[in-house]
Amino acid sequence: MKNNKGYHIIILFCLCFLAVANLNAQSDWQIPLEANEKLSPFLFDDDMVLEGRVAYENSCTSCHGTPGQDNFTPMSPPPGDPASEQFQAQSDGSVFYKIKTGRGTMPKFAELSPMMNCGTL
Ligand code: HEC
pLDDT tens digits, residue range 22-39? Answer: 454 456 899 999 999 999
Sign of the Cα torsion 50, 51, 55, 56 reads negative
Closest CA to 64 of 114, 21, 19, 109: 109
Sign of the Cα torsion 50, 51, 52, 57 reads positive
Q: Name residues whose C-beta falls within 8 Å of residue 106's C-beta, 6 or more positions apart in sequence.
A: 63, 79, 98
> Could you tell me which residue, 68 or 2, shows the higher pLDDT?
68
14 CA distance to ligand 1 middle (Å): 31
Q: What is the mean pLDDT of the chain?
A: 81
pLDDT computed for residue 37 by the predictor? 95
Residue-wise pLDDT tens digits, 53-88? 999 999 999 999 999 999 999 999 999 999 999 999
Residues whose beta carbon lies within 6 Å of some atom of ligand 1: 26, 29, 59-60, 62-64, 75, 77, 79-80, 86-87, 95, 98-99, 103-107, 109, 112
| Ramachandran assignment for 53, one of left (phi > 0), alpha (psi -120 to 50 degrees), beta (any other) | alpha
- Give CA–CA dist 55/114, Å, rounded: 11
Taking CA 80 as the corner, what is the angle to CA 46 and CA 34, rounded to the nearest 5 degrees?
70
Highest mean pLDDT among 4-18, 29-43, 107-121: 29-43
pLDDT computed for residue 121 by the predictor? 36
What percent of the chain has pLDDT above 90? Answer: 60
Residue 111's pLDDT band, with cuts at 50, 70 and 90, is low
